[in-house]
């Protein structure tokens, strides 16, 4: 929180995410990790719960709190953030496309390897009330997922992972 002294809106998102998610303060074995990010006039904090399991990396929950200013359409805003979190999760664990001649080989959404509903963690998205002008929500959920999961794995195992894709046991 001390590092966010000049970013009160981001700090408020982080405090709210930890409150909603039941943050255990980086206790060893807690399997909880945090990350926060600002872009295009919006702010997001994410608490991830993830741990290694016999099936590999298990992401159990993502709790996101967003301050995007005044929401024009709250339902669409929620969908934007949820979709970004799913894309961020897929990218963090290595679901991607190959490229041939500078063109993506995946030509349809189903070819990207995105998690199915049964494979997705519980996702909680909360928006903070604000009278500020609306901010951008297009991709705000994508870049925050990998660092939050990496921090959760550190809390669970005591080992830092500094490469993507994230795996339960570092190579």
Q: Could you tell me the CA-to-CA distances from 76 to 72, 117, 165 in Å, in that order?
A: 9, 19, 29
Q: E strands, 116-155, where?
A: 122-127
Q: In sequence order, which residues have a C-beta less than 8 Å from that of residue 129 and are 6 or more positions away?
A: none
Asked whether the CA dihedral 162, 165, 166, 168 is positive or negative, the reply is negative
Catalytic residue among 24, 60, 126, 139: 139
Phi, psi of 35 (to 5 degrees): -155, 155
CA pair distance 107, 119, nearest whole angstrom: 22
Is position 82 annotated as part of the catalytic site? no
Give buried/exposed letters for 111-121 (b at 16+ CB in 10 A, else e): eeebeeeeebb
Of the CA atoms within 13 Å of residue 106, those in its CB half-sphere come to 11
Active site residues: 139
């Amino acid at each position: 929180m001390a590092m966010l002294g000049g970013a009160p809106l981001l700090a408020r998102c982080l405090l709210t995410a930890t409150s909603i998610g039941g943050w255990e303060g980086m206790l060893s074995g807690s399997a909880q990790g945090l990350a926060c990010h600002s872009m295009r006039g919006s702010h997001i904090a994410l608490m991830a719960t993830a741990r290694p399991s016999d099936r590999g990396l298990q992401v159990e929950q993502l709790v996101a709190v967003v301050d995007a200013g005044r929401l024009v359409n709250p339902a669409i805003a929620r969908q934007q953030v949820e979709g970004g979190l799913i894309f961020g999760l897929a990218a963090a664990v290595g679901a991607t496309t190959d490229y041939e001649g500078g063109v993506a080989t995946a030509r349809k959404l189903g070819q990207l390897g995105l998690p199915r509903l049964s494979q997705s963690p519980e996702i909680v998205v909360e928006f903070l009330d604000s009278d500020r002008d609306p901010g951008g929500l297009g991709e705000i959920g994508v870049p925050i997922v990998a660092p939050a999961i990496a921090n959760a794995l550190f809390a669970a195992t005591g080992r830092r992972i500094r490469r993507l894709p994230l795996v339960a046991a570092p190579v």
